[in-house]
Every structure is written in structure tokens, then in C-alpha cells.
Chains A and B, each alone.
Chain A
Amino acid sequence: MSQIITKVTVTKFWRETARTHKHFLFQYECNFEKMKRNTITISTRVGTTVATYVTDCGVAGCVPNTYRTTTRFSSTDTKLTSSNDEPVPMSNPYKKERRQCILCKLKIKPDYKNYRLLSQFQSPYTGRIYGRHITGLCKSKQEQVETEIRKAQNCAYMPYYYKDKTFLKDPKLFDPENPIRSHRF
């Protein structure tokens, strides 16, 4: 019997102890706290996926711990379908969150009068403005920061060749040693 279900692949968040019955009744004892995804994929020995099960909601408490499945002994077999366990259409649960730069995230508009914020984008050694590959800002914000720093320097709010020593211990927004792209310095 080549179709015996031997392996139950569960997403890595599930701790599964699966028992195979004659009627392919699976008993899971899951660690419900650790469940993040609500999908179970059951594959055969050959490696093909037999069924994907999606629990009806993502809340760990309401997930049933018993699943009844059928195997494909032949194509003429009638399939047992239960309404609860049918696959439901859902958006990609693995989709990553959209990344945002720190100024967009906090909704800060750089301003030349706020020279303390601007001095965080300035090198403490040379007073030069750090590039986009170091600051990790999006293009528009980086451009705004650069123009505002120039304005502030021109208005004598900020020095050109060094960073104001009172701002030297300000928290670091980024690490100049680990740029996104490598640079020649």
C-alpha cells in the first residue's frame, strides 16, 4: 500500500505527535501557545501533498485537535469531506511587513530649526552628512535631511566641521560601521 500516510508535516511552530490509525485519524497534541500558522499539510510517503488543512480561525483555543482524513486508494473512492476542515482562501501568512525608514515611521519632517535631530545624521569626527547607505532613510527623507542640514549650517545653528559636543551622547539612530552597501572608507 503505497498511499499510507506516514509523515505529517506541520509548520515548524507546531509540535506534533501524530498517530496513524486505520481510518487515518490523526491525533495531534499540539502546543497551542506556539501555534502561529493555522495550516497543516499532510503528505504521503511519495512526497506528494494529500491535503492541506486550515483551521477555521487563527486563535489557538478554537483549533480542534482531531482531524479525519481520507486517503486516495483509487480515484473512484468517494471522499469524506467535513465542512470544518476544508481549505479556506487566505492571504499569504508568510508575507513580511513593509519596511519603513525611521523618519517615515515616526512621521517626522526634518526641519532646520530642529538641529539636534539633524546633528544625529552628521559624523561626529568630520561633520559630514552620512549617506543613504548608512542612515537607512528613504530617498525623499534623505534628501530633505541633507537640505535641512545645509540650511541649519548656513544659519549658524549647526557647525560645518564637527558635531556639537553637547549632542555627542545622543542615541545612535544607525551604525556607521555597518552600512547597507559597502563603501570605500
Chain B
Amino acid sequence: MPTYEVALMLRSMPKPELKTTLKRISHAIFDRGGIIRNIENLGHRPMPYKTTAHGLVHREANYFVFKIDTATKAVSDLKEEYSRDVDVIRQRVFKSEESGSNHCTLEEELLPPAYRDEVKKMIEVGKTQVNRFTYKFKYNSGLDYYPFQK
């Protein structure tokens, strides 16, 4: 099961209600055989832009991030369920990424163009291409003279 991050924005509501909402959200994950690794509360704060959800305009939201392990096929199902939940203003699911190689290529990128590998490659490719923008008259085309002004 891959790890996903579910970023949820819940409408502003009193704490007990928030608790039941979070429970409902987690049970939806458990019902589909998923597990929760971590729940992050990013706090209750004004949204950078107002959002309309379920016929109401929201300017503030409770931000939560659930880190869950669930089957890939269950994700769309979960999203569908949360979209029907009136307490969820907005939800996004991202695949949680592990850090890859940490090799900085800035030094190579700051080289003058002629020394950069990608430019060298482009020049090599350019050499193999035919220049389509210049036409050279073929003298064996049947005419024994060049028909245009030289």
C-alpha cells in the first residue's frame, strides 16, 4: 500500500464537533482497509482566498494533513466520500514522496553555454539535421540553366 498525504480543510466549528468530524474521516479510511500513519494539525487560520463549499462561503478553515497508507483504488472512493461531507471544505490527495538524490548541479549550470552538456548535445543533434530553410538548386533537375535570378 502506498503512502498518501490527504490535505483537508475543515470548516470552522467548535471542538467537540471537530472531533466527531475527524473521527468520521478516519473511520472512512479504516473502513477501506487503510491505516493512518500520522495526523498533522496545521491550525485554524484564515484562508488566503474565500472558498465556497456546500452552498456556504468559507473564509477560515481548520487545516489537517492525514498521512495514510491505503490501497490505490480506495483513494478515489475516499475522495468521493469526503466530497459529500459538508464539513470538508476542500481536500487534496498527494503521494508522499521520499527525498531523492541530493546532488547539486548548479556548478555545471553556471558554466558558459559552450561547456554545458545539454548545449553540446543540442549542437550535436543540430549537426545531424538538414537545414530546411535553405533550398539548394539541383542542377540535374532537367533544366540546363538556373531559372531564377541569381
Contacts and interface: CB of A to CB of B under 8 A. Distances in A.
Q: Are A and B associated in one complex? A: yes
Interface of A: 98-101, 104-105, 107, 109, 112-113, 136-141, 151, 153-160, 164, 180
Contact of A138 (B7, B47, B49, B104): B104
Most chain B beta-carbon contacts within 10 A, residue among A99, A105, A138, A158? A138
Interface of B: 7, 9, 40, 42, 47-49, 51, 61, 63, 65, 90, 92, 94, 99, 102-107, 109-110
Given A104-B104, A113-B42, A139-B105, A99 B48 contact: no
Given A99-B110, A156-B61, A151 B48 contact: no
A109 B49 CA distance: 26
B94 A104 contact: no
B117 to A, nearest CB: 12
Nearest to A136: B106
Contact of B94 (A138, A151, A153): A151
A100 B90 CA distance: 38
A140 B109 CA distance: 11
B9 A156 contact: yes
A139 B107 CA distance: 11
A104 B106 contact: yes
Nearest to B63: A157
B94 to A, nearest CB: 6
Contact of B48 (A101, A109, A138, A158): A158
10 contacts: A99-B110, A104-B103, A104-B106, A136-B106, A137-B106, A138-B105, A151-B92, A156-B47, A157-B63, A159-B49
A104 B102 contact: yes
Given A99-B107, A138-B104, A156-B47, 15 more contacts: A100-B104, A100-B106, A104-B103, A105-B104, A109-B99, A112-B7, A113-B40, A113-B65, A138-B109, A140-B105, A141-B104, A155-B7, A156-B51, A157-B63, A160-B49
Contacts of A156: 9, 47-49, 51, 61, 90
